[in-house]
Amino acid sequence: MDTTLRFGAGRLPERSLVFTFDDGPGATDGPGRGPRTVELAQYLADEQIDATFFMCGKHVEQHREIPMQVLALGHRVGNHTWSHRHLPELDDDSIRDELNSTRQILGDCGVEGPIPFRPPWGEWDARIEAAVRADETILTGHSANYGWDLDGMDWQFWWDMGSPQECANSYVKTALEHGSGVVLMHDSTADPGTPGEQMRAGNLAVEAVKILVPRLRAEGFTFVPLSAID
């Protein structure tokens, strides 16, 4: 594993975007708001877009079949820690547990390594990096460490029960401002407590992405896999 936090800036041609979705997986019965990881993965596959889903172990535990369904649709599955806590607030052993437990359950679900990693909130520093580098299991189970360049703050719209149009507008705006990069979106929310539950329940990522993809294509953007920045 290359433990240096990696970004798309400077590594991607103009008008190239990498789609990444964090904090899932999730599923919702019936119509309406809520996480729908497989539906999202299916739409992206239909559009020939290769995305990466950074999953949290605590959600994988609830939906053990989803990681392989996402992989079968041609996407990549990554580690986003077990419980989505702030890594700078954890001691070294707890940091290693957050990564190892998630890599373990994804392996139990059939996801073979090495897989990409993304720290919650993109929080990464020298102490965390040293803790990770001291663990051979983490190093062999992961490929590299990925941040993001473009954030349209989708969670804010889901928190406010906002519309998918507003969310898509926000991402078109940031894509035009940046020109290229790794895009952060959320197929669920893994934060504990009331705000997190509200964002998760309000999620309309599928609807937003179905608006966003044709609009970005009309602006001349193309979609490339995360491996484009390796």
Query: Measured between alpha carbons, how far is 175 from 221 in angstroms, rounded to an integer?
Result: 9
Tell how many helices (H) and how many strands (E) occur in the chain: 10, 9
Rounded to a whole number of angstroms, the minimum distance from the CB of residue 128 to Zn ion is 15
Decide whether 57 or 120 has the Cβ nearer to Zn ion: 120
Instruction: Determine the interface stretch with Zn ion among 22-30, 159-167, 196-204, 210-218 (rule: CB under 5 A).
Output: 22-30
x/- letters, 117..156, toward Zn ion (CB under 5 A)? ---x------------------------------------
Residue 154 token pair: 């989708």
Instruction: Determine the interface stretch with Zn ion among 2-10, 19-27, 32-40, 210-218 (rule: CB under 5 A).
Output: 19-27
Rounded to a whole number of angstroms, the minimum distance from the CB of residue 189 to Zn ion is 8
Rounded to a whole number of angstroms, the minimum distance from the CB of residue 120 to Zn ion is 5
How many angstroms from the chain centroid is the CA of residue 148?
Answer: 10
Instruction: Determine the interface stretch with Zn ion among 20-28, 71-79, 171-179, 206-214 (rule: CB under 5 A).
Output: 20-28
| Side chain identity at residue 38, one-letter code | V
Cross-strand partners of 207: none
Rounded to a whole number of angstroms, the minimum distance from the CB of residue 121 to Zn ion is 7
Give the CB-nearest residue to Zn ion: 22
23 binds Zn ion (CB under 5 A): yes
Query: Measured between alpha carbons, how far is 51 from 49 in angstroms, rounded to an integer?
Result: 6
187 binds Zn ion (CB under 5 A): no
Rounded to a whole number of angstroms, the minimum distance from the CB of residue 21 to Zn ion is 10
3-class SS at 81?
coil
Instruction: Determine the interface stretch with Zn ion among 62-70, 102-110, 114-122, 161-169 (rule: CB under 5 A).
Output: 114-122
| Side chain identity at residue 25, one-letter code | P
Chain position carrying tokens 């877009």: 49
Decide whether 23 or 149 has the Cβ nearer to Zn ion: 23
Beta strands of 80-218 (E only): which ranges? 115-117, 142-146, 150-151, 181-186
Compute φ and ψ for 195, nearest 5 degrees. -60, -45
How many angstroms from the chain centroid is the CA of residue 113?
Answer: 17
22 binds Zn ion (CB under 5 A): yes
Helix (H) or strand (E) holding 19: strand 16-22
x/- letters, 54..73, toward Zn ion (CB under 5 A)? --------------------
Which residues would be at the binding site for Zn ion (CB under 5 A)? Answer: 22-23, 120
